Amino acid sequence: MKRFIVVVASILWAFPSVQAQEFRLQPTPQEYVFRNDSVLVPQYYQLHAGSSVSGQPVLLLLDSLMSGKTSKADFELWVGTQADKCMRKYAKRIPNKADGYYLQIEKERIVIAGADERGAYYGVQTLAQLLTRNKLPLVEITDYPDVPYRGVVEGFYGTPWSHEARMDQLDFYGQNKMNVYIYGPKDDPYHRTPSWRKPYPIEEGERIKQLVERAKQNEVIFYWAIHPGGDIHWNEEDRSALLQKFESMYQLGVRGFAVFFDDISGEGTKADKQVELLNYIDEYFVKAKEDVAPLIMCPTQYNNEWVKIEDGYITTLGEKLNKDIRVMWTGKQVVTTIDKPTLDFINPLLKRKVYLWWNFPVSDYVTDHLLLGPVYGNGLDIKDEVSAFVSNPMEHAEASKIALYGVADYTWNMESYDSEVSWKYALNALMPTYADYLETFAAHNSDPGPSGLKFRRDESVAIQSALSELLKNYLEKGEITSSAYLQVDKECEKIMRAADVLLASGDENPVLLKEIHPWLLQFKLVGQYGKEVLNMMHLLSQQEAFAQSYDHARALQILMCQVDASYNQSAVRPGVKTGSKHLMPALDALFEIAATRYNEQYGAKLSTQVYSLNKEKEK
């Protein structure tokens, strides 16, 4: 049975509310008890550190959080792992789980005891969150992750993240207790065809070294992936070229390697040849180095829907691939949520627990949309069926943090995971001052829209029923449901206000605001459009006033088309869509109904079709 926070309401540590003044540990710990007491953050303290953490990131992090270390202080801070003699007193309280830790805060001491070095580091990361309060609560936390490896695979098509974005991401992973980053952007030529055989130029190699070092500081395993299948030749020359590339990356400090065979055709898809190469790498490179993390591979058939038992691809991997090689998997389909039946199908075939590659919030197939909604839909009962869970993000690194925050929370403690609560805290983490406005924006920018991958998300949840009721009654009866009308009207005001505030709030998170700027411009126009469409409905009996509202609504349609045609002109799905699942379709339908009724009532010939650049070009 898990233990949870116990406090009185006067100390705002307790319940997972999203009130700005309340507090929540991220990710949610497994067992934690807060007593109804606290202690001032010590100005001076005496450090007792075990030899296992000497020179490790845990002490560097601790030094950055708490100055005033001295041998004469009365307050003591003990930190180490179960391998240290100084932690023997707490041995029974340390969870016997990789990355686990025990944290205790008392009046005169703090104890952080890790199951291993990374566990001790995570204990200090939890202390870092507690140190943001005016006082330290007297607390006892026993904590560990549900999923052994948790993190991110930068594996999308399109513009790769910048070096600065990656460095910042690695800090974010450390803070949120994610321990894996896999470098594999599809549009890095040195990762795949045409230049996977070539070493990185000196400047780019130096940036890789910096990323590796930053990853180490955050207790993140930096994996570098190669994608040779597009033009590989199954011969000694190409095998040597791949090993030489890995060796060059090893010299840059990389200690985790992956080989991707996804999204290819032809010669590179042969399972027996893939197995032969991977087993050779595993035996003569990974194991020979002794300090390299387990090898990861992404297969050509990487989801349940694509498995063809009769061709022997998957069974060949399961039977012949070395057992310590991890195999990535996206689920039932390319983009989907993960459930236990999916894993019950594939794990026996691969004869190992899959290494989950979750394609969310990646948007390379719907680049005109932002996916800023909650992380939900994955099974809460799959922790024992997976070896890892990594998220493939958007090319918008800062905006991706909303989902990655949820992934970190979910993979750490599935039983206690609450997607809505986690989402709201993620928004607050990105923009504490303007979290409410960001929530309004994110709530209408969650769904990817229709695509061949058939993956959809909730959007505009708070006003879905109001939109449906308003549209149904207006279409069928010509009536305006006042309660629904007022709710939609209020939401449109919120949208306009949120867009303006966020557009003007560049001081808090300028990186995020730069990424979402085109969508904010469109978002404000959507709010204005909604207000004017509602005016059209209300002013049908006033001919001149209606005509003015119609003209404005029509102008806003044109302006939205111009934003759509001017920004984010990527090769795949260019443009800027916002509120596209429920809000815009309802507003467009209401516009058409109102214009049609006006024409019928006054014998007018107003265009009843929503303005479209494509339609205008066809004329």
What is the tens place of the pLDDT at every residue in 596-611?
A: 999 999 999 999 999 9
State percent of the chain over pLDDT 70: 96
State residue 17's pLDDT score.
36
The tokens for 293 are 């993390």
Q: Considering only CA atoms, which of 393, 352, 503, 358 is closest in space to residue 441?
A: 503
Q: Are 87 and 94 in contact, with CB atoms under 8 Å apart? A: yes
Helices (H), 444-481: 464-476
Q: 293-310 pLDDT, tens per residue? A: 999 999 999 999 999 999
Whether the bond between 393 and the residue before it is cis, its omega within 30 degrees of 0, is no
- All domains of the chain, ordered by start, with CATH? 31-143 (3.30.379.10), 149-418 (3.20.20.80), 461-618 (1.20.58.460)
Q: Are 161 and 190 in contact, with CB atoms under 8 Å apart? A: no
Based on the residue annotation, tell me whether 238 is a catalytic residue of this protein. Answer: no
CA distance 149 to 145: 9
CA distance 231 to 176: 38
| Mean pLDDT to the nearest integer, 122-140 | 96
State residue 526's pLDDT score.
98
Band of residue 372 on the pLDDT scale cut at 50, 70, 90: very high
State residue 8's pLDDT score.
35
Q: Is the dihedral of CA 285, 294, 331, 194 positive or negative?
A: negative
CA distance 486 to 471: 13
Paired residues of 55 in beta bridges: none
SS3 413: coil
State percent of the chain over pLDDT 90: 93
Instruction: Say how many C-beta atoms besides its own lie within 10 A of residue 348's C-beta.
Output: 10
Identify the active-site residue in 263, 489, 500, 588: 263
Task: Calculate Rg over the CA atoms of the chain.
Answer: 27
| Mean pLDDT to the nearest integer, 339-346 | 98
State residue 570's pLDDT score.
87
Strands 221-226 and 256-260: what pairing? parallel
Q: Are 249 and 203 in contact, with CB atoms under 8 Å apart? A: no
Instruction: Please provide the average confidence, as pLDDT, over all residues in the chain.
Output: 95
CA distance 398 to 180: 18
| Alpha-carbon distance values, 221 to 4, 170, 174, 358 (Å) | 30, 10, 11, 18
* Full-model pTM: 0.95
State residue 572's pLDDT score.
85
Q: 412-442 pLDDT, tens per residue? A: 999 999 999 999 999 999 999 999 999 999 9
| Mean pLDDT to the nearest integer, 167-171 | 98
Q: 235-254 pLDDT, tens per residue? A: 999 999 999 999 999 999 99
| Mean pLDDT to the nearest integer, 272-282 | 98
